[in-house]
Amino acid sequence: MNKMDLVSSVADHSGLSKNNAAKAVDAVIGSITGALKGGDDVRLVGFGTFSTSKRKASTGRNPRTGEPMQIPASTQAKFKAGKGLKDAVNA
């Protein structure tokens, strides 16, 4: 499912127009992104938790040449599925 499929599904299930459903999906994604950028977690009970984790800088190897290279420190987005989502997927 891509974003347009999600917008169509939201429009069908909520009775919203596709334009309004697209605005709603964009607002949810923007809100989650903004919270993660601010260092907050987003907990959706029954669905899951969006969070961030810091990765330290490390030394890796270039797969083409084999020479060492520095991998910079970064912040990674993470998602942990909640019980409701796990149960729905495994049903």
Please check whether residue 32 is in contact with residue 50, taking contact to mean a CB–CB distance below 8 angstroms: yes
Residues 6+ apart with CB under 8 A from 68: 59, 60, 61, 62
The amino acid sitting at 4 is: M
Domain ranges (residues) in the chain: 1-40, 41-91
Confidence of residue 91 (pLDDT cuts 50, 70, 90): confident
- What pLDDT, in 10s, does the model give residues 63-90? 999 999 999 999 999 999 999 999 999 9
| Average pLDDT over every residue of 29-40 | 96
Average pLDDT, the chain: 95
The CATH T-level fold of domain 41-91 is HU Protein; Chain A (4.10.520)
Please check whether residue 53 is in contact with residue 72, taking contact to mean a CB–CB distance below 8 angstroms: no
Name the residue with tokens 């987005």. 77
| Average pLDDT over every residue of 39-48 | 95
